[in-house]
Amino acid sequence: MKILSSNVYVGPNIYANFPVIRHEIDIGILEEWPSVRLGKGFIDGLIDAIPTLQEHGCSYGTEGGLVRRMREDEGTWIGHILEHVALELQNLAGSTVTFGRTRGTGDLGCYNVVYQYQQRDVGIEAGSLAMRLLTQLMPAEVLGLMGKEIDSEFNFQEELHDFVRMAQRKEFGPSTGSLVAAAEEREIPWLRLNSNSLVQFGHGKYQQRIQATITSETKHIAVEISCDKEDTHNLLSDLGLPVPHQETVYRESQAIRAAHRIGYPVVVKPLNANHGRGVSINLNEDHEVATAFAAAQDVGTSRAVLLESYITGFDHRMLVVNNELVAVAKRVPGHVIGDGKSTIAELIDVVNQDPRRGIGHEKVLTRLELDSQALRLLEEGGYNQSSVLDKDQVFFLRSTANLSTGGTAIDVTDSVHPDNRAMAIRAIRAIGLDIGGVDFLTDDISQSYKEIGGGICECNAAPGFRMHVAPSEGQPRDVAGKVMEMLFPAGTNAKIPVAAITGTNGKTTTSRMLASIMKSAGFITGMTSTDGVYVDGHLTVKGDMTGPVAAQIVLRDPSVDFAIMETARGGIVKRGLGYNECNVGACLNISADHLGLRGVETLEQLAHIKRVVVEVARDCVVLNADDPLCLQMADFCDAKRICYITMDSGHGLVREHIRSGGLAVVLEKAINGDMITIYDNGAHIPLLWTHLIPATIEGKAMHNVQNAMFAAAMAYSFDTNLDDIRQGLRIFNTSFYQAPGRLNIFDEHSFKVILDYA
């Protein structure tokens, strides 16, 4: 069994309208060894390795269907099993994937195994691990026939653990993940811009970006202020907001003197660190201050260290988005609760078995660690890691309540006193943040700080969302939704119009004609084509750019407000589309020019590939009514309207379509020449004489007449003004400068030269 070729489809493709991976595999002698013949040991071994495969319904549609397929009659073949294993491995690693399909290629023993993925690297590795596992489970007789031996070093559980850890590293963190989910709920498109948390929401000129919870609207100076705890403190203090008394020191001796001036107990913290690193609280002795000072200097990037008066109370994170308090969590430092028999180390292990806990920010909670701070607190409390706590006795392993160090969170949003709510909003506005977290200490968040006291110990840029979207206790809050509403207020656009053009011939010229029209209408177009990517008529990337990479270039460009995607067969076959949907999709024609390439042997196969563009169109599909294979695509479209193009004014189907109020563009002959005519909802709209379109060479170049009809139809489908359509076609010509390699006529000599790329 071996993989012959693979494709990773990034968007809609010939197999599905979402990302999938395709492996063409040759199962060799396993064609004669379906699952029943491989035996009970193979099937049971697979189920023992991945028990959740028993939940797969397969073609039966009920739990246990896959196992039933493997055991009944002659069973099923290894390619089909590979598909299910690759899917389930991804699910075990945190993805939610269900789609798979395995079909023969026509060659004996060769199959296309197709399965859904969410993370590219995870999907690829899932297929690889599935292959290794299935090979390892083969009976010795089969391995011998395959020329393989059992890999004595292969340990599936270890491999699975490493695979899951790799997948978790590739996933978005809780904050970014919640923002992406909120965008998807609102049908806002998104693009991951790096392997971490840099994400683009929206397309073209409407795009917004985030890096975790820093947004395109976050002011740099506000972030700088929030990162400097001294500046933050002073700004808030000057506005009369509740903050502790604070002094900045640079030496240990200064720290001790400052502690005496402020009065014990005190807090020591770095000037510019985060996540509670280097913070020591409730210090009551000079030697404690000295130790804390050294720890703070080690963590911070500045020699400066802050001393503050110690404010008692519970730690609350108050999240402000767009000048609105959207969530408040009461944070509890990482701790264990005694059971009267387990050691503290054992209690930590029990806490870390919670599936919600992970390393760093990968999950909604962070693992507890027996690090130097925990050991110091144990020593100060008269314990060690082997000590046994009394039943229900609580011991805190952290002095601060950050989730990043193992803390937990309780949602208290509905309990916040109006004075405290106003205080948090005012603090974040003072810093200048669009999204900010206020760390507020108070004994009771439901009572006003003006009455019972309390204080702001920090204001944070890029606050984490996980304590709010998945609190340990209380109601989850849709804080990410509030961010999306800030970035894309009601009534604003997130998507730019997208026109997609496919077919065998005429794609590039039609794309250029449409670009000319839309430029006349005032748009800045981004266009992909066989010659390159053009933005506002300027070549930005040279080469054959008709695949998904080129589409992504256009959609990422912040100047573009109209996208024109020339979409060729090759890009669809290799990687799928680079966009999930288009507003208007057109198929110009299907002809035999590219048969014999990449396994495409018939016109019907070619039409099936190009039909992908039609299937993702949402508003209008434009089809060549004079091409039977294009006509058949109408049965597969979900667009609101179909527009037919015909150069035969007596076309029966088109005339019936027009009579029923449909949209069509028809070439009609008259005494003065040929007129491009639009029919829509019973209206008859003469658009333009063909001889007035320079690219048609006085109406003689009929292929460009047809291209102009498609461009006009697509522009009309975007509600483009008729005069702009006429103007765009009349200023477009086939000179080398406007259409290089497309019917270029050179007439400077005693003879004419016509240059056309074919």
Tell me the average pLDDT of the chain: 93
Residue 82: HSE in the Cβ half-sphere, 13 Å Cα cutoff: 32
pLDDT over threshold 90, residue 299: no
Closest CA to 632 of 606, 655, 665: 606
State the amino acid at position 675 in one-letter form.
Answer: M
pLDDT recorded at residue 362? 60
Q: Are 647 and 676 in contact (CB under 8 A)?
A: no
Is residue 610 within 8 Å of residue 591, measured between CB atoms?
no
Q: How many CA atoms lie within 13 A of 718 on its CB side?
A: 28
CA distances from 116 to 57, 75, 319, 332 (A): 16, 24, 36, 40
| Count of residues making up the chain | 758
Can you tell me the mean pLDDT for 618-638?
Answer: 97
- The band of 335, judged by pLDDT with boundaries at 50, 70 and 90, is confident
Write phi, then psi, for 334 (nearest 5 degrees): -55, 130
What is residue 299's three-state secondary structure?
Answer: helix
Residues 406, 397 contacting (CB under 8 angstroms): yes
Q: Given a cut of 60, is residue 142 above it in pLDDT?
A: yes
Task: Tell which residue, 344, 343, 397, has the closest CA to residue 368.
Answer: 397
Q: Is 237 helix (H, G, I), strand (E, B) or coil?
A: helix
pLDDT band at 596; cut points 50, 70, 90: low
Q: Crossing angle, helix 507-520 and helix 702-717, to 10 degrees?
A: 50
Report the 10 Å Cβ neighbour count for 213: 27
pLDDT at residue 758, rounded to an integer? 57
743: left (phi over 0), alpha (psi -120 to 50) or beta: left
Q: Which residue has the tokens 């653990």?
A: 161
Beta carbons of 437 and 316 less than 8 angstroms apart? no
Three state DSSP letters for 588-656? CCCCHHHCCECCECCHHHHHHHHHHHHHCEEEEEEEECCCHHHHHHHHHCCCCEEEEEECCCCCHHHHH
Task: Measure Cα distances from 589 to 502, 645, 745 in Å.
Answer: 8, 11, 25
- The share of the chain scoring above pLDDT 90, in percent, equals 78
Q: How many CB atoms lie within 10 A of CB 125?
A: 21
Which residues contact residue 300 at a Cβ distance below 8 angstroms, ignoring those fewer than 6 apart?
270, 271, 272, 273, 278
- Burial state string for 83-92 with b = 16 or more CB within 10 A and e = fewer than 16: bbbbbbbbbe
Residue 381's pLDDT is 84
**Residue 581 pLDDT > 60:** yes
pLDDT at res. 611:
97
| Strand, helix or coil for residue 341 | coil
Neighbours of 606 (CB within 10 A): 22
Please give the Cα distance from 681 to 225 (Å, whole number). 60
CA atoms within 13 A on the CB side of 213: 25
Look at residue 734 in the predicted model and tell me its pLDDT. Answer: 76
pLDDT at 737: 65
Question: In whole angstroms, how far apart are CA 384 and each of 98, 233, 292?
Answer: 48, 37, 21
Lowest mean pLDDT among 104-118, 189-203, 294-308, 309-323: 294-308
pLDDT of amino acid 438 = 98
**pLDDT at position 627:** 98
The model's pTM: 0.88
Residue-wise pLDDT tens digits, 167-210: 999 999 889 999 999 999 999 999 999 998 999 999 999 999 99
Shortest CA distance to 503 belongs to which of 609, 432, 659? Answer: 609
Domain annotation for the chain: domains and CATH numbers = 2-170 (no CATH), 173-244+311-328+410-490 (3.30.470.20), 245-309 (3.30.1490.20), 498-645+692-746 (3.40.1190.10)
Give residue-wise pLDDT tens across range 121-138.
999 999 999 999 999 999
Average pLDDT in the 606-623 region? 98
Q: Please name the amino acid found at residue 162.
A: D
Which DSSP helix (H) or strand (E) runs through 550? helix 548-556
Q: Say whether pLDDT at 736 is over 70.
A: no
- How far is 713 from 716, CA to CA, in rounded Å? 5
Integer-rounded Cα Rg, in Å, for the chain is: 33
Residue 373 has pLDDT above 90, yes or no: no
Distance CA 543, CA 503 (A): 19
Residue 646 pLDDT more than 60? yes
Coil, strand or helix at 114? strand
CB 623 within 8 A of CB 642: yes
Please report how the helices 220-227 and 418-431 are oriented relative to each other, as an axis angle in degrees rounded to 10: 110
- As a whole number, mean pLDDT of residues 382-403 equals 84
Note the pLDDT tens digit of each residue in 673-701: 999 999 999 999 999 999 999 999 989 99
Q: At what angle do helices 120-136 and 78-92 cross, to 10 degrees?
A: 130
pLDDT category at 753 given cuts 50, 70, 90 is confident
Pairing of strands 683-689, 673-680: antiparallel
- Mean per-residue pLDDT, 563-578: 95
